[in-house]
Amino acid sequence: MRKTFDLIAAPAGTEPGDYVPRVYAARNLPATSSATLEVQHGDAGWRVSLGWHCPDPVRDASGNTNLFVDAAALLAPTVADAQWITMGAPDKAVEGALWRADREELLRIRAEGLGTVKRQQPPNHWKAHSDWSEARWSVTFELASWPALDDHNQLAFAIWRGAAADRGGLKAIVPQWIAVEP
Amino acid sequence: MSGSEKTNEPDTVDRQLAMVIDLNKCLGCQTCTVACKKLWNRDAGTDYAYWNNVETQPGKGYPALWPETGGRSGAGEVKRGEVPDLDSGYGRAWDFNHRAAFESAAKPAGEKAWLQPNEEAHWGANWDEDRGAGHYPEDNHYFYLPRLCNHCTHPACLNACPRHAIYKDKRNGIVLVDQDSCHGYRFCVEACPYKKVYFDPMRQVTTKCLFCLPRIEEGVPMACARQCPGRLRFVGYRDDPEGPIWKLVEKWKVALPLHPEYGLAPNVFYLPPLSPPKLDAAGRPTAEPRIPMYHLESLFGETVGAALETLRSERRKRRRGEPSELMDILIAYDWHKSFALSSEHEVSR
Ligand code: SF4
Ligand code: SF4
């Protein structure tokens, strides 16, 4: 499948703590308004590509204290009724891969609710390629095996635009799980 | 830390460790800054970071103009703040021409390479040292303000973190960052109005003063307090009526929190600075102090006048040869008595 999705700002109001929900309440427009998703499934496993407009890429945030890197994540439910918008819930995890513009390797991520994301080393066979040209990021995730997606055939993604100080729950997301072909 | 017991509910700590800093004795020598820096922040990502800094007041401070964002509203809500940057906020750690200066040491003056930064410097942690304000000789003035994390009773940094990576150690109220949970979002940096959480851009996590917890666990005071040649830092628990903190804060009411209006209930307190009188146009002393009261009130709140009056009156008593518990504490004849950490530990190191 190949399709362009309109994105929404992840609702800051449900973030944990009493700071982000209140001070970022007005941030209700996504810093990235749409993205194109392409999903292929074959002998080599899952190949998922994301492309989005980004006029001001941030590839490296090590040079200053107020820089945030561009990033994107793919997530899938680990049980049938895990919610996407809440990043799962206790015992209803979501899991997937995080790409950051400042790293070559992906990170494996897993969450059981907002604010609970854990980052881990990914399986060896998870790879990513990224390219920025003509004000556009193209990121391809090659995941030879991803049981959560195999089992549930549902996928969602998030995009963080560093130049807009996106981080954590301040991100552009697809509003709901996307059904993918097995 | 070895035995830290986490709590995200600041009101549930068993005890609260605190510090009092006597601004009347600070030399601005930066021994505290260096003691802290050498112990905790020598990596590339923390080269700009001073958990303890000593700034000149009046002045821009570090990071520049730090008191302008964050804190709590009157209703206790943490307000939106900003993340300072390295160029206009903190100042970068400059690279110096050490080798060239060393190699030219034996050369005649005109051929020496003098020690200087390799790039043009615009701002840094102690850039406006000793500048102060006013006009010589009428009312020129400045004083030193050592600053560190206040290990607040109501820490804005803790409330701002959506990952609950910031917590208080239940045993002593020290505010700590669990760097394994920190994802470098910097909401804590924004929210702390004292700007005492630092971001390490190399490791992409935040760092902050830990009140030298490993030393405290051994009954040894923080490096900044122990190394201070002015013997002007006092350390102990808020609830110890025999210790210097309780006496200076609760009994004598001369030690005040910095910016109480931020609503964070800091646990670092300051004895405000007395100052000599302003001069009139004919050069005669007036009744007004050189450091304007409005400036001190803007830093320490409206009780600063009463604290200064207590200090003056106890000084006068001492000059008359009368006993003064307050002056005895502040003079710190025996530095061991400045630190009341734990009855099991004799502070001897
Ligand atoms: S001074 Fe800032 S960093 Fe320290 S506890 Fe208070 S809010 Fe947190
Ligand atoms: S070591 Fe003591 S006297 Fe020196 S700057 Fe620090 S607080 Fe002031």
Instruction: For residue B202, list chain A residues with Cβ-Cβ distance below 8 A.
Output: 62
- Domain A2-179 matching CATH 2.60.40.1190: the answer reads yes
* Ligand 2 binding site (Cβ under 6 Å of any ligand atom): B 26-32, 54, 144, 146, 228-230, 232
**Contact B183/A at CB under 8 A:** yes
Per residue in B141-190, pLDDT tens?
999 999 999 999 999 999 999 999 999 999 999 999 999 999 999 999 99
Per residue in A137-176, pLDDT tens?
999 999 999 999 999 999 999 999 999 999 999 999 999 9
Three-state SS at B44: helix
> Residue B137, preceding bond cis, omega within 30 degrees?
yes
- Tell me the residues of chain B between 291 and 320 that have a Cβ less than 8 Å away from chain A: none
pLDDT band at B69 (very low <50, low <70, confident <90, very high): low
**Contact B167/A at CB under 8 A:** no
Burial class (CB in 10 A: 0-12, 13-18, 19+), B42: exposed
| pLDDT score for B12 | 87
Question: What domains are defined for chain B?
Answer: 6-92+125-338 (3.30.70.20)
B185 and A66: CB-CB below 8 Å? no
Residue B345 in this model has a pLDDT that exceeds 60: no
pLDDT band at B193 (very low <50, low <70, confident <90, very high): very high
Residue B198 in this model has a pLDDT that exceeds 50: yes
Closest residue of B to A168, CA-based? B185
Substitution target from A22, A59, A66 for chain B, most B beta carbons within 10 A: A66
Q: Rounded distance, CA A181 to CA B5, Å?
A: 48
- For chain A, percent helix, then strand, then coil, each to nearest 5? 10, 45, 50
Closest residue of A to B199, CA-based? A65
Instruction: For residue A167, list chain B residues with Cβ-Cβ distance below 8 A.
Output: 183-186
pLDDT band at B346 (very low <50, low <70, confident <90, very high): very low
Burial class (CB in 10 A: 0-12, 13-18, 19+), B241: exposed
Per residue in B34-65, pLDDT tens?
999 999 999 999 999 999 999 999 999 999 98
Using a cut of 0.90, tell me whether the model's pTM lies above it. yes
Tokens of B146: 């050592």
Residue B67 in this model has a pLDDT that exceeds 80: no
> Which amino acid, one-letter code, is at A73?
A
DSSP B90: I
B79 and A16: CB-CB below 8 Å? no
Q: Rounded distance, CA B212 to CA B81, Å?
A: 27
Percent of chain B with pLDDT over 90: 86
Tokens of B301: 């709140």
Q: Tell me the pairing of strands B233-237 and B339-340.
A: parallel
How far A144 CA lies from chain B's nearest CA (Å)?
27
Scored b (16 or more CB within 10 A) or e, A135-153 reads eebbbbbbbeebebbeebb
Rounded mean pLDDT, B328-347? 82
Residue B5 in this model has a pLDDT that exceeds 50: yes
What distance in angstroms lies between residue B174's CA and the mean position of ligand 1's atoms?
A: 10
- For chain B, percent helix, then strand, then coil, each to nearest 5? 30, 15, 55
Strand pairing partners for B7? Answer: B168
Our mutation pick for probing the ligand 1 site, out of B7, B197, B207, counting the most ligand atoms within 8 A of Cβ, is: B197
**Contact B79/A at CB under 8 A:** yes
| pLDDT score for B4 | 76
Q: Rounded distance, CA A108 to CA A51, Å?
A: 20
Residue B348 in this model has a pLDDT that exceeds 60: no
Q: Rounded distance, CA B75 to CA B78, Å?
A: 9
Closest residue of B to A13, CA-based? B162
Per residue in B264-322, pLDDT tens?
999 999 999 999 999 999 999 999 999 999 999 999 999 999 999 999 999 999 999 99
Per residue in A50-100, pLDDT tens?
999 999 999 999 999 999 999 999 999 999 999 999 999 999 999 999 999
Our mutation pick for probing the ligand 1 site, out of B161, B192, B222, B269, counting the most ligand atoms within 8 A of Cβ, is: B192
| pLDDT score for B162 | 95
Rounded mean pLDDT, A20-43? 95
Which protein residue's CA is at the shortest distance from atom 7 of ligand 2?
A: B26
Closest residue of A to B161, CA-based? A17
Per residue in A109-145, pLDDT tens?
999 999 999 999 999 999 999 999 999 999 999 999 9
Closest partner CB to A64 (pick from B85, B185, B198) = B85
Rounded mean pLDDT, B190-214? 96
| pLDDT score for B11 | 83
Mean pLDDT estimate for chain B: 93
Residue B71 in this model has a pLDDT that exceeds 90: no
Helices B304-319 and B293-300 pack at an angle, to 10 degrees, of: 110
Closest residue of A to B204, CA-based? A62
> Which amino acid, one-letter code, is at B241?
P
Atom of ligand 2 nearest to the CA of B21: 7
**Ligand 1 lined by B224 (C-beta under 6 Å):** no
Domain layout of chain A by residue ranges: 2-179
Instruction: For residue B86, list chain A residues with Cβ-Cβ distance below 8 A.
Output: 63-65
Mark out the alpha helices in A25-160 (DSSP H runs): 147-152
pLDDT band at B73 (very low <50, low <70, confident <90, very high): confident
Per residue in B102-124, pLDDT tens?
999 999 999 999 999 999 988 99
**Contact B66/A at CB under 8 A:** no
**Ligand 1 lined by B147 (C-beta under 6 Å):** no
Tokens of B263: 């609503």
Q: Rounded distance, CA A12 to CA B239, Å?
A: 39
How far A165 CA lies from chain B's nearest CA (Å)?
9
ipTM of the complex: 0.95
Place of tokens 């851009």: B201
B159 and A15: CB-CB below 8 Å? no
Instruction: For residue B199, list chain A residues with Cβ-Cβ distance below 8 A.
Output: 65
* CB of B104 closer than 8 Å to CB of B97: no
What distance in angstroms lies between residue B29's CA and the mean position of ligand 2's atoms?
A: 5
**Contact B162/A at CB under 8 A:** yes
Query: Which of A128 and B348 is assigned the larger pLDDT?
Result: A128
| pLDDT score for A18 | 84
